[in-house]
């Protein structure tokens, strides 16, 4: 990967994740033509790239009728495994940053496979037509580790309960925390570096907070 931010259609790793990760991302036929944005959380141009993505998300929000209190940030994951802790870390950081959006999924109160359906019911009760940004961890190729991916369309969590779970989000962020490996899932989750997950979390939070600061 030669550039720190690039635009591409949905890539193959989204299909292969189904085998390894407790949360995976299906290739949605209806969204094949939608565009993905990638930002390298460790790259030299990370500051510039987060600014570009923040402006893109601001543009998306401005094109909708939603107010700040109709925007939901749904951070999926569990703090029990480093490899799955990206969502709760982002949720905690966003709450500490006092963003004006409703945030679900923190280290204290994580959103995961066992309570996701209940949280979605709660969201649907509280909001008529919320604009939902979902956030979760993923795996990809070795040279993609440390990249944040932003794309229109929902995440498709699953596998943790050996059944399909509801698609979540109008748009989503994915942090690529590790690469494909023959290790068992539990070993993969523990093998992921906390340093990588923290950098990804900081980058996602930076994008969202910058977006809110843009006039």
Among 112, 149, 132, 116, which Cα is nearest to 13's? 149
pLDDT at 146: 95
Q: What is the DSSP letter of 76?
A: B
Low-confidence ranges of the chain (pLDDT < 50): 1-32, 158-163
User: How far apart (Å, rounded) are the C-alpha atoms in residues 143 and 146?
Assistant: 8
pLDDT at 184: 58
User: How far apart (Å, rounded) are the C-alpha atoms in residues 92 and 34?
Assistant: 29
pLDDT at 75: 97
pLDDT at 10: 31
Backbone angles phi, psi at 69, to 5 degrees: -80, 0
pTM (predicted TM-score): 0.81
């Amino acid at each position: 990967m030669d550039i720190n931010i690039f635009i591409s259609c949905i890539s193959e790793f989204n299909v292969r994740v189904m085998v390894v990760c407790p949360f995976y991302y299906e290739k949605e036929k209806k969204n094949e033509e939608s565009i993905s944005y990638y930002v390298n959380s460790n790259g030299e141009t990370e500051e510039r790239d987060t600014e570009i993505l923040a402006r893109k998300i601001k543009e998306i929000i401005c094109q909708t009728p939603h107010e700040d209190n109709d925007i939901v940030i749904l951070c999926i994951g569990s703090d029990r495994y480093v490899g799955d802790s990206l969502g709760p870390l982002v949720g905690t950081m966003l709450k500490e940053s006092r963003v004006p959006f409703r945030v679900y999924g923190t280290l204290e109160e994580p959103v995961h496979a066992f309570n996701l359906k209940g949280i979605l019911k709660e969201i649907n009760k509280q909001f008529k037509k919320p604009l939902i940004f979902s956030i979760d961890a993923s795996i990809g190729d070795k040279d993609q580790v440390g990249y944040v991916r932003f794309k229109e369309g929902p995440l498709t969590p699953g596998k943790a309960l050996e059944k399909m779970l509801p698609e979540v989000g109008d748009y989503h962020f994915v942090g690529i925390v590790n690469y494909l490996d023959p290790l068992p899932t539990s070993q993969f989750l523990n093998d992921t570096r906390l340093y990588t997950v923290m950098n990804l979390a900081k980058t996602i939070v930076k994008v969202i907070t910058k977006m809110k600061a843009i006039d």
